[in-house]
Amino acid sequence: MALIVQKYGGTSVGTIDRIRNVAARVKRTRDEGNQVAAVVSAMSGITDKLIGMAKEFGENPSEREMDVLLATGEQQSIALVSLALHELGVPALSVTGRQAGITTTGSHTRGRIDAIDPQFMKRSLEAGNALVVAGFQGITPDGLIHTLGRGGSDLTAIAVAAAVGADVCQILTDVDGVYTCDPRIVPNARKLPEISYDEMLELASSGAKVMQSRSVEFAKKYGVVFEVRSSLNDNPGTMVLEEHPDMENVVIRGVSIERSQARVTITGIPDEPGMSAKILCALGDAEINIDMIISNIASDGMARHSFTMHSNDLGKAQAALKPVLAEISGESKIETEAGIAKLSCVGIGMRSHSGVAATMFKALGEAGINIGMISTSEIKIAVTVDETRIEDAARAVHDAFELDKAPA
Ligand code: ADP
Ligand code: ASP
Ligand code: MG
């Protein structure tokens, strides 16, 4: 008998019929002789709807209350999936984050899982129940509700799998695996049989929302091997696991895109120690996540720094930077540009193959797409382009690396 954790995302529980499909799948997995803990998300659209309702009362609602509100989406689903299991004669128990023993730290709406006490879940499984665990939620040591960031049910599933010592962890979603690019954008994208944690992490943190990036970090840290597959068919999915030597033969594993980015450039910064720290500390204190950073010295001997960030943070960044600039030099100016997007190519094979950037830039040039900023890591090359051209850019680069063809 195996212990299987299955995670069903918002689309997979999006209607009453879909909920019945989930229940049937859980029942089938149990009938095959396994114990099952299913982690479920809110029905698709519910979390966004709740956020919209909260914003009726002001643009910046209290994050404590947001957590209380958003956690209800998953609570609806666990009860409904349990009821659907009861309809099939399966003893099922809904389990909230608190009952699952999930303790969190960090801030409201961005809680981090600190520990899981799996005793209740283990006892209930041993007693013959199917468990239906609320994704996306946990509880602070003081008893406050935390949510785990958008897409956070993935993290719940991986963490529950680690805590209960699951034999198998399956992320069941509306695609049948991880593709070389989002198949909604690149129709000839190819399903990958496997991908390393590091590649999945880079893709997820650069916009491939098929997995929440923090859940992949957690899986790598605790060695949780998991499979991404469809909740609607039985096609084999994609295994996400520690890299092995054969994986380096593939130069680019996948391409991801991230929309709604903005650039801030600060000019006229004195070329002196401590200036960059002042600027970055101001942005950090304002809780703004900076992505790419480029810095250079202009012909007048003054430095200029450019950063990218989510376009929602642009106003906050301008407000945070104003006093700092006034303090460091009267010459400093801020320029901003919204409407940009980021394209990333990811592959551990990049470590041992050259010419990757050349192929990527040539493909973009031939498609008439201008490159803005560039950043690289050991296994990723990312560029910004005009947001209106991002899908063309993804297709051009996907074609240039022939990602639709299985490697020889
Ligand atoms: P769930 O509700 O199950 O958590 P999500 O909507 O969060 O599902 O993630 C699944 C979606 O991720 C797919 O429908 C697909 O459009 C998108 N996606 C983005 N990049 C990829 C990729 N490389 N491979 C597969 N799906 C991707
Ligand atoms: N319901 C949450 C969200 O929409 C968590 C999740 O679906 O994973 O982000
Ligand atoms: Mg998701």
Question: What pLDDT is recorded for position 301?
Answer: 80
pLDDT bin (cut points 50, 70, 90) of residue 51 is very high
Question: What pLDDT is recorded for position 240?
Answer: 98
- Let me know whether 283 and 394 are in one domain: yes
Residue ending a domain, among 121, 146, 174, is 174
Rounded to whole angstroms, the Cα distance separating 275 from 282 reads 11
Model confidence, pTM: 0.95
Query: Does residue 28 fall inside a structural domain?
Result: yes
| Ligand 2 contacts CB of residue 47 (under 6 A) | yes
Domain CATH for 110: 3.40.1160.10
Average the pLDDT over 380-405 and give the result: 98
Backbone dihedral angles phi then psi of residue 113, each to the nearest 5 degrees: -75, 125
- Let me know whether 151 and 284 are in one domain: no
Percent of the chain with pLDDT over 70: 100
Rounded to whole angstroms, the Cα distance separating 227 from 133 reads 19
Residue ending a domain, among 174, 198, 229, is 174
Residue ending a domain, among 124, 155, 174, is 174
* Those residues with Cβ within 8 angstroms of residue 64's Cβ, 6 or more apart along the chain or in another chain: 108, 144
Rounded to whole angstroms, the Cα distance separating 343 from 206 reads 8
Query: Does residue 192 fall inside a structural domain?
Result: no
Average the pLDDT over 162-166 and give the result: 98
- Let me know whether 272 and 150 are in one domain: no
Say yes or no to pLDDT of 408 above 90: no
Domain CATH for 272: 3.30.2130.10
| Ligand 1 contacts CB of residue 192 (under 6 A) | no
Query: Does residue 346 fall inside a structural domain?
Result: yes
Give the ligand 2 atom nearest the CA of 136.
5
Question: What pLDDT is recorded for position 244?
Answer: 95
| Mean pLDDT of the residues in the chain | 96
Query: Does residue 114 fall inside a structural domain?
Result: yes
Question: What pLDDT is recorded for position 10?
Answer: 98
Pocket test for ligand 1, best of 18, 44, 174, 202 (most atoms within 8 A of CB): 174
Rounded to whole angstroms, the Cα distance separating 396 from 408 reads 21
Say yes or no to pLDDT of 46 above 90: yes
Question: What pLDDT is recorded for position 335?
Answer: 93
Pocket test for ligand 1, best of 136, 173, 186 (most atoms within 8 A of CB): 173
For residue 209, report the distance from its CA to the centre of ligand 3, in Å: 6
Strands, DSSP E only, in 25-89? Answer: 35-40
For residue 192, report the distance from its CA to the centre of ligand 1, in Å: 14
- Let me know whether 26 and 160 are in one domain: yes
| Ligand 1 contacts CB of residue 179 (under 6 A) | yes
Q: For residue 15, what are the domain limits?
A: 3-174
Pocket test for ligand 2, best of 12, 41, 67 (most atoms within 8 A of CB): 41
Q: Residue with the nearest Cα to atom 22 of ligand 1?
A: 182
For residue 175, report the distance from its CA to the centre of ligand 1, in Å: 6
Query: Does residue 313 fall inside a structural domain?
Result: yes
| Ligand 1 contacts CB of residue 173 (under 6 A) | yes
Give the ligand 2 atom nearest the CA of 156.
8
CA-wise closest residue to 256 among 216, 289, 283: 216
Return the amino acid letter for 253: R
193's enclosing H/E stretch is: none
Q: Residue with the nearest Cα to atom 15 of ligand 1?
A: 182
Query: Out of 146-155, 186-195, 318-327, which region has the weakest mean confidence (pLDDT)?
Result: 318-327
| Number of domains within the chain | 2
Say yes or no to pLDDT of 33 above 80: yes
Say yes or no to pLDDT of 326 above 90: no
pLDDT in tens, 292-311: 999 888 777 888 999 999 99
Query: Out of 2-11, 170-179, 274-283, which region has the weakest mean confidence (pLDDT)?
Result: 274-283
Token digits of residue 75: 């609570």
CA-wise closest residue to 257 among 382, 362, 370, 371: 382
Query: Does residue 314 fall inside a structural domain?
Result: yes
pLDDT in tens, 108-161: 999 999 999 999 999 999 999 999 999 999 999 999 999 999 999 999 999 999
Q: Are 10 and 45 in contact (CB under 8 A)?
A: yes
- Let me know whether 170 and 258 are in one domain: no
| Ligand 1 contacts CB of residue 337 (under 6 A) | no
Q: Considering every ligand atom, which ligand is closest to the CA of 151?
A: 2
Give the ligand 2 atom nearest the CA of 152.
8
| CA 65 centroid distance within chain | 23
Average the pLDDT over 226-239 and give the result: 97
Say yes or no to pLDDT of 270 above 90: no
For residue 136, report the distance from its CA to the centre of ligand 2, in Å: 6
| Ligand 1 contacts CB of residue 254 (under 6 A) | yes
Query: Does residue 237 fall inside a structural domain?
Result: no
